[in-house]
Amino acid sequence: MNIHALFRFHPAIGTLAQRGGNHRCWQWAFRRVVSSMIVLLASGVFLYAEQAKETPKIPPPKDIDLDTRDGVLLKATYYASTLGKEAAVVLMLHDSDGNRNELAPLALVLQSAGYAVLTLDLRGHGESVSLKGSNRQLSASQLTNRDFQAMVTEDVERAKRFLLERNNQGELNIEKLCVLGVGMGAVVAMEWAFVDWSWPQLLTHKQGRDVKALILISPEFTFRNLSTANFFKHPEASRRISGLIIVGDGKPKSLQDAKRIHGMFERSRPKTVERPEQRDLFFIPLKTNLQGGRLVDEKNLRAFKIDQIVLNFLKIRLAEQSYPWTDRRSPLEK
């Protein structure tokens, strides 16, 4: 509506026209119209501000440095959530000879859906090749069995400490944690889930038992001195952690490893599930020879609808589950 139309239809103008008002009355009417316009404009600004508040802008990914207890300088990327204490969390681990950038397309999809995501270059991979106070560089081809074990006890544990800090600042809910691993990363994820569920429970504060879901993409059954079988040595963890396994069915070895892991998951669960919504284990074979990081690149992620499979799994087994946020600082830190 333009200014002339506003004057024509405003009640004060209509009343004045009926009364055949004088100059002073016209001034009174003009002030009424201007006051109404200010109220309308102010209301519009308020509504716009409220809408902006309801849909906060997703922050850009942030590269961060994490130093381990044994002196490795890890590189990671943090995709913050806009949901604060309601945000479920996904920690993503790459395949052998891969790096965290390969997981960026899926990380962005998850962040846009409200998840807090951390992608990590495991030691000797990507940019995680430097040692504190040393000129020696780590190389994936020269890693020892001890290095691979340290991926579990040092690298992922350091990533967890970062996420705990974000939890205590109210940026996410660490109680809703999923670890996604690709190839070698899937073995590391399962080994660390065992560690996370093995912390002793204290009366003063909660330790561990934060992993509630595992997403395993082309999982290898063993890698060097690491084995997914170790995870199943913790009966409670293997029974209570939800699982999603995705694999291309065109490579017999990859399919065999994935089926073997799925079978061990099945044996750890109740024989019958009463309702579909109680289902917590999913096995998705894809019609392709592609495996590992190739399945989660930007093209194949959508071609095989892996992004939607992952989002649906996380929604029903993590985001919609009742795991209330808690302040996880120890009594000495409070």
Identify the domain containing residue 12 by its residue range. 3-54
Looking at residue 14, what is its pLDDT? Answer: 47
Q: In this structure, are 32 and 66 located in the same domain?
A: no
Residue 184: name the closest of 153, 154, 226 by CA. 226
- Within the chain, where are the H helices? 3-9, 11-19, 23-54, 104-112, 145-150, 157-168, 184-196, 235-240, 252-267, 298-303, 306-314
In a domain, 31, yes or no: yes
Residue 121 lies in a domain: yes
Q: What is the pLDDT along the chain (334 residues), one digit of tens a residue?
A: 443 443 343 444 444 444 455 555 545 455 554 455 444 444 554 444 454 456 689 999 999 999 999 999 999 999 999 999 999 999 999 999 999 999 999 999 999 999 999 999 999 999 999 999 888 999 999 999 999 999 999 999 999 999 999 999 999 999 999 999 999 999 999 999 999 999 988 877 788 899 999 999 999 999 999 999 999 999 999 999 999 999 999 999 999 999 999 999 999 987 765 677 788 999 999 999 999 999 999 999 999 999 999 999 999 999 999 999 999 998 777 6
User: Using an 8 Å Cβ cutoff, are 285 and 249 in contact?
Assistant: yes
> Which of 45, 250, 256, 89 shows the shortest CA–CA distance to 180?
89
Specify the pLDDT at position 32: 58
**Residue 333 within a domain:** no
The dihedral over CA atoms of 246, 80, 210, 70, expressed in degrees to the nearest 10, equals 100
Are residues 126 and 245 located together in one domain of the fold? yes
Q: Is residue 17 located within the same domain as residue 163?
A: no
Q: Are strands 281-286 and 242-248 parallel, antiparallel or unpaired?
A: parallel
Contact between residue 213 and residue 317 where contact means Cβ atoms under 8 Å apart: yes
Cβ(294)–Cβ(93) below 8 Å: no
Q: Is residue 35 part of a domain?
A: yes
Residues 165 and 23 reside in one and the same domain: no
Based on the domain organization, do 189 and 296 belong to the same domain?
yes
Shared domain check, 44 and 77: no
Report the domain count for the chain.
2
Asked if residue 284 and residue 233 are part of one domain, the reply reads: yes
CATH of the domain at 210: 3.40.50.1820
Give the HSE-up count for residue 262: Cα atoms under 13 Å, Cβ half-sphere: 21
Stated pTM of the model: 0.83
Residue that is written with structure tokens 């309801």 in the block: 54
Residue 310 lies in a domain: yes
CA distance 77 to 62: 5
Q: How much helix, strand and coil, in percent to the nearest 5, is found in the chain? A: 50, 15, 35
Do residues 21 and 144 share a domain?
Answer: no
Query: So what's the pLDDT on residue 35?
Result: 54
Query: Does residue 326 belong to any structural domain of this protein?
Result: no
Q: What are the phi and psi torsion angles at 99 (to 5°)?
A: -155, 175
Q: Residue 243 pairs with which residues in a beta bridge?
A: 214, 281
Q: What is the DSSP letter of 137?
A: B
123 and 253 co-located in one domain: yes
Helix axes 23-54, 11-19, angle to 10 degrees: 170
Q: What per-residue confidence (pLDDT) applies to 285?
A: 98
Instruction: Answer yes or no: do 106 and 190 share one domain.
Output: yes
Domain assignment of residue 329, yes or no:
no
Quick check: is 325 in a domain?
no
Residues 319, 323, 326, 332: is their CA dihedral positive or negative?
negative
Q: Are residues 253 and 307 in the same domain?
A: yes
Last residue of a domain, one of 34, 54, 74: 54
Residue 22 is predicted with a pLDDT of 55
CB 154 within 8 A of CB 120: no
122 and 239 housed in the same domain: yes
